[in-house]
Amino acid sequence: MAERENRREGRDRREDRRDREETPEFADRLVAINRVSKTVKGGKRFGFAALVVVGDQRGRVGFGKGKAKEVPEAIRKATEQAKRSLVRVPLREGRTLHHDIEGRHGAGRVVMRAAVPGTGIIAGGPMRAVFEMLGLQDVVAKSLGTQNPYNMIRATIDGLKKEASPRMVAQRRGKKVADILKKAETEVAAEA
């Protein structure tokens, strides 16, 4: 009797593991695909470069690029690289940023602002892909300078790395979270 129950438990555990393997942990978004060529003695050799953003839609995001002779292989390489370069971003209420931030990379500059519930993602192109994979629901963003998707994504991730939650600020200053939030509220009242 006990042996039969143990076998049943083992089967249940295997089924749970199989279910976990079937549901992907990360979502990915292809941002750009580019045909590249290499000039050789006999002419040109063509290949493909892919730019992919990967995230768990709960505060982790990363990007990667891959090159190969075929498109699917380039996308696979980019996805693997993106999974290795994930960064964690603290989100307020799991839907928006804690504060306004600016990110830079090369000639690319992006400005990201926290937004009220129901605003949605107001951002263009590659930045939208990053926010969707991150799990942001309300954000207003603007890209200034270059429109190069590689630099826009790098600038966006650079800005997101600067994001700090009240808990992180309190820990860094050696204070309590309530003290940090109370100080911010009194500053807002003084301005009004």
Per-residue pLDDT tens digits for 106-148: 999 999 999 999 999 999 889 999 999 999 999 999 999 999 9
DSSP for 3-53 reads HHHHHHHHHHHHHHHHHHHHS-S-EEEEEEEEEEEEEETTEEEEEEEEEEE
Residue 165 confidence (pLDDT)? 86
Q: Give the mean model confidence (pLDDT) for residues 16-35.
A: 74
Give the global pTM.
0.80
User: Domains of the chain, with CATH numbers?
Assistant: 2-84 (3.30.160.20), 90-191 (3.30.230.10)
More confident residue, 23 or 129: 129
β-pair type (60-68, 101-105): unpaired
